[in-house]
Structure 1
Amino acid sequence: MIYTCTLNPSIDYIMHVDEFHPGGLTRANKAMYYPGGKGINVSRVMKRLGVSTTALGFIGQFTGQFITDFLEKENIHHHFVNTNDYTRINVKLKGEQESEINGPGPKVTDEQLEALFDQIKSLNSGDIFILAGSVPSSLPEDFYSQVADLCSSKNILFVADTSGDALRQLVGKPVYFLKPNDHELGELFDTTIETKEQAAYFASKLIEQGTEHVVVSMGGKGAVYVSKEEHLFATVPKGEVKNSVGAGDSVVSGFIASINNGKDIKEAFISGVAAGSATAFQDDLCHKEDAERLKDEIEITPIHIKEGQ
């Protein structure tokens, strides 16, 4: 079974405006509401790819109810811990420029945190647990590290998509799959990554320290896959980028869905890149047919790296 976990979900309230007037009245010409949060995005895309998941995390009040109602309409299982605090609303203004205002995260009590840990402890050996996104300030700073250790002790395959200190905590941990982008990977190693060879070189450092699979997304430059056995580069399809939100989550979804369906690594890598690109080319998350159409446009080639690349 596959589980996703979103610690800090949201309602993403997206408004399209012709022109934004600070301090004055701005009328939106289109508005959309979606459940937000990286783990929730993964669950939504994987369902569209034909793979079921159970969404875990923290929600509360009527804003949390919007999320559960939305997921139920899409036939996505969920078992959230109720915080009795409002799930945040993130406002995104899209016009000539894109602006965002993100609401504050929930205040999670020790009892609510323990309830989530109990859920993780109840998972079975071989289950996949996908933890993605930011950590609310009320949770322990080493939350990602604690979850990695717990999954390792239970033989649960741990997948993470995060950045900054949370990503740093996972270096040296037995993680099944990591998906940093090039900026996040560069920040981790205090460097700037500009080429696929550099991305592969630093991703291989994560492999040496316990991670099994790493995919580095590089926007329009392509993507890199690294394991002990392979270093691969994928081109990305050409198209108009309409939406950066959820593209990285879709890469995770495509890759893990393919692995779950018994596909080989190359096919999983192609599926991840196709799903990520398909989401970037539309306003919401991709559907299966969107990703399938793009697969033939993706070219996979080996990467040759050397020490000090």
Structure 2
Amino acid sequence: MPEIRVVTVTLNPAVDRVLEAPGFAVGRHVKAKRIALYPAGKGVNVSRVLATLGTRSVVTGLVGKNELGMFEEHLERAGEGRIVCQLLIVRARTRDNTTIVDPVEDTETHVRDEGFHVQPDDVTRIGSKLGMLARPGVMMAFCGSLPPGLEPSAFAAIVRRCRDLGAKVVVDTSREALEALRGERLWMAKLNAAELETLAQRPTETLEQTIEASRALSVHGGGVVDHVVATLGADGAVHIGEGGDLRGWVSVHPGRIVSTVGCGDSLLAGMLSILARDAKAWERAMREGLAAATANACTREAGFFDPNDLYEFRDVATLEHVDKD
């Protein structure tokens, strides 16, 4: 079976900065040590994990002109030749995301920049670029938030065009973008509880409600999404769609958890790494995704993990079929 090409789309990338500040407190002068600085954004993180798992991908989207070289160099090094960078530049600076880690209080504080403001010609250029990449045999994963200037309706039109050109469209995006996609046919949607509630227009406070909302959104339940993957935080994830209605999780000692930032990106990458080889292997995809997400939680940086942790969690991941009412 030929491998499906994976394209990740990051329209609002970031440079992630992680600072360690013992005794951090708002409103005070605090000394900090930088412990990480790397290009990021959800699609970038997904491609980095895909490369770790041995799967090639194309990274596209938008990036500030001055940061393009940084992204290209990082992806070439981190991807070990498995990532092709095709980001388009905009005439603005890529946003900074800052995480402040306090090892004394065991807390994390996240400061998120909203991102550069894109112009109409930027939207036209990225739409044309994605139109050239979208075709049968391509999984196109739209990941992360929309930058200011890119209207949700314009985003939905780009997604619709890529789908109509034959790509298997995957979305893992912000609530505003999801609202614009309501009613659109999608191959896969990865959603947290709040995002699932936005798209399905149903409550998601309990596991049972999450499963029912996922079913309502899925094609099998009368919805428009072929495969719904609903994340449950520490309780794992649910898949509803052809290939089996599944719930999966990994039991891990809480003391091993360092940070949950990037776990959703690693979950998606783990799943896509399997589906790129066999688009019907959903049980294997869930197991790989859960293992990658849990391994990510054992590290400080999003989209990085120890392969030995992945192997361990892959072996202990639990999957069960969800009964249909």
Q: TM-score, normalised by structure 1?
A: 0.92
Classify the secondary structure of the residue corresponding to 2:8.
Answer: strand
Of 315, 318, 321 in structure 2, the residue corresponding to residue 299 of structure 1 is 318
Equivalents in 2 of 1:89, 1:19: separation in Å?
23
Structure 1 residues 276 and 141: alpha-carbon distance in aligned structure 2, compared to 1, 3 A threshold: same
Q: Would the alpha carbon gap of residues 288 and 213 (structure 1) be closer, same or farther in structure 2, given more than 3 Å must change? A: farther
1:195 Cα offset (Å): 3.4
Report the Cα distance in structure 2 between the residues aligned to 1:266 and 1:120, rounded to whole angstroms.
30
Q: Is the 8 A contact 1:200 1:231 kept in 2?
A: no
CA distance in 2, matches of 1:90, 1:5: 18
Q: 1:109, 1:252 → 2: CA distance?
A: 30
Whether the aligned pair in 2 keeps the contact of 1:38 and 1:249 (CA below 8 Å) is yes
Give the CA deviation at 1:174.
Answer: 1.9
Contact 1:251 1:275 in 2 (8 A): yes
Distance (Å, rounded) in 2 between the aligned partners of 1:178 and 1:162: 9
Q: Which moved more, 1:258-267 or 1:154-163?
A: 258-267
Shift of 1:279: 0.5
- 1:220-235 mapped onto 2 (5 Å cutoff): 220-228=234-242, 230-235=244-249
Residue matched to 1:66: 70
The CA distance in 2 between the partners of 1:204 and 1:23, in whole Å, is 46
CA 1:46–1:158: 2 relative to 1, 3 Å: same
Cα offsets for 1:116-135 (capped at 9, x unmatched): 11111112322111101100
2:150 corresponds in structure 1 to 139
Q: Distance in 2 between matches of 1:148 and 1:99?
A: 33
**2:153 is the alignment partner of 1:111:** no
Once structures 1 and 2 are overlaid, which stretch shifts more, 282-291 or 133-142? 282-291
Specify the alignment match of 2:268 in structure 1: 252
Question: Residue deviations 1:227-250, cap 9 Å, x none?
Answer: 045211112231422122110011
Once the 2 structures are TM-superposed, how far is the Cα of residue 20 of structure 1 from its aligned partner?
1.5
Aligned to 2:283: 266
Is 2:47 aligned against 1:43? yes
Contact kept, 8 Å, 1:178 with 1:213, in 2: the verdict is yes
Q: What secondary structure, in the 3-state scheme, does the structure 1 residue paired with 2:152 have? A: coil
Alignment CA distance shift 1:117-1:17 (3 Å): same
Checking the alignment, whether the CA contact within 8 Å between 1:61 and 1:85 is kept in structure 2 is: yes
Equivalent of residue 56 in structure 1, options 54, 60, 66: 60
Name the Cα RMSD after superposition.
Answer: 1.9
Secondary structure in structure 1 of the residue aligned to 2:67:
helix
| 1:58 to 1:229, Cα distance in 2 relative to 1, 3 A | closer
Quick check: 58-67 or 72-81, which moved more? 58-67
Question: What residue is the counterpart of 1:205 in the other structure?
Answer: 216
| Contact preservation (8 Å) 1:5, 1:55 | yes
- Compute the displacement of 1:189 (Å): 4.3
Please name the residue that 1:79 is paired with.
86
Taking the aligned partners of 2:122 and 2:198, their CA distance within structure 1 comes to: 32
Structure 2 contact 266–296 (Cα < 8 Å) conserved: yes
- Give me the identity figure in percent: 27
Cα shift readout 1:159-185 (whole Å, capped 9, x = no counterpart): 110231212333322211111012322
Q: CA deviation at 1:89?
A: 0.9
In 2: Cα distance, 1:163 partner to 1:87 partner: 18
Q: Give structure 1 stretches of 5+ with no counterpart.
A: none
Secondary structure of the residue aligned to 2:184 is coil
Higher strand share: 2
Change (3 A) 1:22 1:233: closer
Q: Which residue does 2:18 correspond to in 1?
A: 14
* Structure 2: unaligned runs, 5 residues or longer: none
What TM-score, normalized by structure 2, do the two folds share? Answer: 0.88
CA 1:186/1:236 → structure 2, altered by over 3 Å: closer, same or farther? farther
Change (3 A) 1:214 1:299: same
Shift of 1:106: 1.4
Shift of the 165–273 alpha-carbon distance from structure 1 to 2, 3 Å rule, reads same
AA in 2 matched with 1:297: V
Q: Which amino acid aligns with 1:86?
A: R
What secondary structure does 1:20 align onto?
coil
Cα deviation, 1:111-156, whole Å, max 9, x if unaligned, reads 2221111111112322111101100121122244212311221011
**1:168 aligns to what SS in structure 2?**
helix
Code of the residue aligned with 1:273 in structure 2: it is: L
CA deviation after TM superposition for structure 1 residue 66, in Å: 2.1
Q: What number of residue pairs does the alignment pair up? A: 306
Measured after TM superposition, the shift of residue 13 of structure 1 is 0.6
